[in-house]
Structure 1
Amino acid sequence: MPKHYFDRLQNIDRLIRMKGTGTPKQLAERLNISESLLYEYLSFMKEQGAPIAYCKERRSYYYECQGGFNLRFINNSGEK
């Protein structure tokens, strides 16, 4: 999978955690992608368990519980 795919997911996650995504159109423009592609990213994140919702009053996506979307391998063994 291309690196830009993961970069976009991380950017979407960061903006959702900040509750600063804006409308779907604004978020797609910020990420320089189409709205339909944005919905594909959001769908993928939801399939992976991210509790994403949209607030019409704030005009932003948010997580329904505290947390974040992590796409990196975490080595818990202490080895490098």
Structure 2
Amino acid sequence: MNFIKQIERFQMINKLIREQRTGSPVEFASRLGISRRQLYAHFEELKLLGLEVSYSRKINSFYFNNRKHLKIEFNLEVLENEEKNKTFGGKCINLLQCFFYARNDHHLAV
């Protein structure tokens, strides 16, 4: 799966769970264009990040049961040579040099 598509999928998962509008597991997976098995694999990835997802039959939706949610930001910009040299991590692709990094409120994590 390409990187941008994966980001978009996690944005949609986050949005629908926060709004408690996912529907049943089958409906949610169908809405995302993935299998139910893939949906639960994504939930396992979220769990590794500290986000626990549960399902409520009463509201017919998944929800974050620890009141946390994802904050996903994606920024694409052209870097000058001087700025590229200051950036650590990432991956070089033939046509486009890309740098990916993780950030929290206090420092950059490479």
Whether the TM-score (by the shorter chain) exceeds 0.5 is yes
Structure that is richer in helix per residue = 1
Counterpart position of 2:79: none
Per-residue Cα deviation, 1:29-58 (whole angstroms, up to 9, x for no partner): 101111111111111011111121111111
After TM superposition, the score normalised by the length of structure 2 is 0.61
> How many percent of aligned residue pairs carry the same amino acid?
27
Taking the aligned partners of 1:33 and 1:57, their CA distance within structure 2 comes to: 24
What value does the CA root-mean-square deviation take over the aligned residues? 2.0
What pairs up with 1:1-80 in 2 under 5 angstroms?
2-72=3-73, 73=103
Structure that is richer in strand per residue = 2
- DSSP 3-state at the match of 1:61: strand
- The aligned amino acid for 2:15 is R
Taking the aligned partners of 1:15 and 1:4, their CA distance within structure 2 comes to: 17
Taking the aligned partners of 1:48 and 1:68, their CA distance within structure 2 comes to: 10
Name the structure, 1 or 2, with higher relative contact order (CA <8 Å, separation 6+). 1
- DSSP 3-state at the match of 1:19: coil
After TM superposition, the score normalised by the length of structure 1 is 0.81
Runs of 5+ consecutive residues of structure 2 not aligned to the other structure: 74-102
State the 4+ residue runs in structure 1 displaced beyond 6 angstroms.
Answer: 74-77
Larger CA Rg, structure 1 vs 2: 2
